[in-house]
Each structure stands twice: as C-alpha cells, then as structure tokens.
C-alpha cells in the first residue's frame, strides 16, 4: 500500500480558517505585540488545530534574526584553533549560545581583510576577541547596527566588554619567582599579529593584553630592584613552536637566566620542551611560569606553574553580554566585566640553589 506524503499546512490555510490575512498570521507568530491578545490567541489556536508550524527560515527572515552569534578573530582559524585557550574560550561562548538556541559562526580574515569577512557574516552580533574600538572592523560593525562585545580590550561606554586582570596575574607570577630567589629573568612574549584591512596594516591586536602582562612583570621586578633589559624580552608566535623558538633564541643569545616568564601556556609548554632538548632541567636549571592555565598545563612534565584566567567563564560572560545587547538593540547601558586571575603553583618552579647554576648558551 502506497504511503502518501503528509500535506504541509501552509500559512494561507491558517489565514483562511481564521478569517485574516497571511500577514496577520505572520505577525501573530513573529511580532504578537502588534496584535491584541485575543486575536493572537485565536490565530494560534487555529494553527494548532490545523497542525501548522512556522517555517524556521521564513520566520528568521521575518524577524530579521539569524539566531547566530559571531566570534570575530583577527587570526586565521588554523592558527586560532591551534591555541588551546581559544578553544576553551569558544566553549564558554557555545555553552551560552546553545542554552538560548543560538549557533556560532567563526569569522576570520577573508583574503587578508577582516573587515570584508565581518561584512559578509550573517550574524545577530559579534564577540570580538582582541580588537579595540578604534579598529576599522568595530567601526564597520557599529555602522551596520550590529551589537558587539569586546574581549581583552579596553572598556568603552558604547559596547559591552570582558577582560581579565592580566597585569595583576603577571605581577603575581613574577613576584613568585622573585620570592624563590631568582634575579636573572627571561620573558617570552607573543609576537604581535598584524592583519590587513584593504591595503592598510593596522596595529597589533594583542598589544593590549601583552602590554598589561608586561607591566605586571616589570612592576614586580622593579619592586625587587631587578632591572629588565630589553634584550631579555624575546618573542615568538603564539603556540608550542613559538615557545620552542623563543626559548632557544634566548639561550643562544648568551643571556644568563634562571627564571622564565611566558605570556601563554602553549608557549610555556614549548619552552619546557626546548629546555629538555638542550639538556636543561625544569625547575633544576630554570624555573618557568606560564599564563592561562589551559587544561594541558597540569599534565606537562613537570606540571606547569601558571596564572589561571577563567577562559570558559570569559567566553560565557561575553556571550551573555552579547545576548543582552541583541535584546536591547541600543537601549540601556552595556556592562563591562573584569574577571580575576590567580597563580597556580605546580612543579615547574623552585628556589634558586645556594650556589646558583647560571644558564647560558654553552650549557
């Protein structure tokens, strides 16, 4: 016996049965506040009796909503997803998005232009990580009327923002090593990623975060009477390989150091690997502190002393602020949140021996 396909009830069927126009049925489902409560209830009752359900795409177009949140990153996605911190942050955004029925769309530079990519994204708003309000992308998003929440950027009155206490966390990391008796330091920083807007190269997007961490390091060292020369700051790309390369460059430069402050855990794990490859022990020869407290940090050999920042909480907070901004659409005051950091002491740091073994390029 042939099975007949069920006949889909159309909006015109509901309109005919309820004695109203198709547009009135659409309003009853998408903008019920424009109708009386009695009319809305009658139309929906007819729809239920007929088994009508609004088509999700048609409803999205009628409401001018995509039910999608955009995560705007100035790095190529192949680079961003190689950073465990970014994945943890994205989990936080996704957890809130899924709770409220929103999908995620990652937006990264398109043919070298982040502005072009942002302009083509079908989203209800953006979480912009590492972009300040003065960047062209933010201006374009604002001109388009899309809500935006800035992450790891200075707070601006017009947009919600989320950041962590980078300077305080870095201060605690450096102070910890000072208290262990270290006086010869190397700092491994993330080299600034540049990105193009059209033919223009704009400022490094991570400058704010890295500057705040550097201020924290310097403040702790200066309080201990330790001078940090510029050559004691080496940079590398964000990630394991960047940490390997930066540590080796510091070692090959002939600098003497017993302590290393690293601005990301992924780089710190690379630095530990490089030290081991060069015949050095951590923390016997060199103590090392990371930043982020990614999941892998406690499973390194040795487990990594690091500064914890709540990456998932930061993502979730940004998503909640964005959803609030989408609901407000310009009304009310945006919220600015600053989350705390804390030092997690594990086994990659130790006190300097009475007769300190200095690290140099000939080790």
Q: Is residue 305 part of a domain?
A: yes
- 132-152: per-residue pLDDT in tens? 666 666 666 666 677 889 898
Residues 174 and 304 in one domain: yes
CA 147 from chain centre, in angstroms, equals 17
Q: Is residue 212 part of a domain?
A: yes
Q: Is residue 354 part of a domain?
A: no
What pLDDT does residue 119 have? Answer: 66
Residue 355: band (very low, low, confident or very high) from pLDDT cuts 50, 70, 90:
very low
Residue 46: band (very low, low, confident or very high) from pLDDT cuts 50, 70, 90:
very high
Residue 166 vs residue 108, higher pLDDT? 166
Indicate the number of domains in the chain: 3
Residues 85 and 22 in one domain: no
Residue 202 vs residue 254, higher pLDDT? 254
Residues 138 and 241 in one domain: no
3-state secondary structure of 151: strand
- Share above pLDDT 90 across residues of the chain, in percent, rounded to a whole number: 53
Residues 139 and 172 in one domain: no
Residue 191 vs residue 103, higher pLDDT? 103
Residue that the structure tokens 């942002």 belong to: 118
122 Cβ contact list (under 8 Å, min separation 6)? 66, 68, 105
Of the spans 16-30, 75-89, 170-184, 223-237, which averages the highest pLDDT?
170-184
Could you list the beta-strand ranges (E) of the chain: 68-72, 103-107, 125-129, 148-151, 160-164, 185-190, 196-197, 200-201, 233-236, 259-262, 287-292, 305-308, 336-339, 342-344
Q: Is the pLDDT of residue 177 over 90?
A: yes
Q: Is residue 222 part of a domain?
A: yes
The mean predicted confidence, pLDDT, of the chain is 83
Residues 257 and 293 in one domain: yes
Closest alpha carbon to 81 in 257, 266, 243, 349 = 266
Q: Is residue 360 part of a domain?
A: no
Residue 202 vs residue 270, higher pLDDT? 270
Residues 102 and 126 in one domain: yes
CATH at 127: 3.40.50.2300
- 284-326: per-residue pLDDT in tens? 999 999 999 999 999 999 999 999 999 999 999 999 999 998 8
Residue 197: band (very low, low, confident or very high) from pLDDT cuts 50, 70, 90:
very low
What pLDDT does residue 241 have? Answer: 93
CATH at 40: 1.10.260.40
Residue 74 vs residue 4, higher pLDDT? 74
What pLDDT does residue 220 have? Answer: 98
* Residues 252, 250: Cα–Cα separation, whole Å: 6
Residue 33 vs residue 273, higher pLDDT? 273
Closest alpha carbon to 260 in 347, 168, 177 = 177
- 202-239: per-residue pLDDT in tens? 334 455 788 899 999 999 999 999 999 999 999 998 88
What pLDDT does residue 53 have? Answer: 72
pTM: 0.75
Closest alpha carbon to 267 in 84, 120, 34 = 84
Closest alpha carbon to 248 in 110, 92, 361 = 361
Query: Does the bond joining 278 to the residue before it have cis omega, within 30 degrees of 0?
Result: no
Residues 95 and 83 in one domain: yes
End-to-end CA distance of the chain: 84
- 91-125: per-residue pLDDT in tens? 999 999 999 999 999 887 766 666 667 767 788 88
Structural domain boundaries enclosing 324: 68-164+311-338
What pLDDT does residue 89 have? Answer: 95
Residues 133 and 174 in one domain: no
């Amino acid at each position: 016996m042939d099975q007949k396909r069920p006949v889909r009830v159309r909006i015109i069927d509901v309109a005919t049965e309820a004695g109203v126009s198709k547009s009135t049925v659409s309003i009853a489902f998408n903008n019920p506040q424009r109708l009386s409560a009695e009319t809305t209830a009658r139309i929906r009752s007819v729809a239920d009796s007929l088994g009508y359900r609004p088509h999700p795409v048609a409803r999205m177009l009628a409401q001018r909503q995509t039910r999608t949140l955009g995560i705007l990153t100035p790095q190529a996605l192949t680079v961003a997803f190689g950073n465990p911190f970014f994945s943890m942050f994205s989990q936080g955004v996704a957890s809130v998005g899924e709770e409220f029925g929103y999908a995620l769309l990652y937006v990264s530079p398109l043919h070298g232009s982040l502005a072009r990519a942002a302009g083509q994204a079908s989203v209800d708003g953006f979480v912009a990580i590492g972009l300040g309000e003065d960047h062209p992308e933010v201006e374009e998003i604002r001109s388009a009327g899309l809500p935006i929440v800035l992450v790891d950027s200075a707070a601006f009155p017009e947009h919600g923002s989320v950041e962590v206490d980078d300077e305080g966390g870095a201060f605690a990391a450096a102070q910890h090593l000072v208290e262990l008796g270290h006086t010869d330091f190397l700092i491994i920083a993330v080299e600034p990623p540049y990105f193009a807007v059209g033919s223009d190269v704009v400022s490094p997007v991570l400058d704010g975060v890295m500057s705040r961490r550097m201020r924290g390091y310097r403040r702790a060292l200066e309080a201990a009477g330790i001078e940090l020369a510029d050559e004691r700051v080496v940079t590398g790309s964000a990630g394991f390989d960047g940490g390997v390369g930066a540590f080796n460059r510091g070692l090959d430069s002939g600098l003497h150091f017993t302590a290393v402050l690293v601005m990301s855990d992924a780089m710190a794990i690379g630095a530990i690997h490089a030290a081991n490859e060069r015949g050095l022990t951590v923390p016997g020869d060199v103590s090392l502190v990371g930043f982020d407290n990614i999941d892998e940090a406690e499973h390194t050999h040795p487990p990594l002393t690091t500064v914890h920042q709540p990456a998932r909480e930061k993502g979730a907070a940004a998503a909640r602020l964005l959803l609030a901004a989408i609901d407000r659409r310009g009304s009310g005051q945006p919220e600015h949140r600053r989350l705390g950091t804390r030092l997690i002491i594990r086994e990659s740091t130790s006190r300097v021996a009475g007769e300190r073994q200095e690290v140099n390029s000939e080790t």
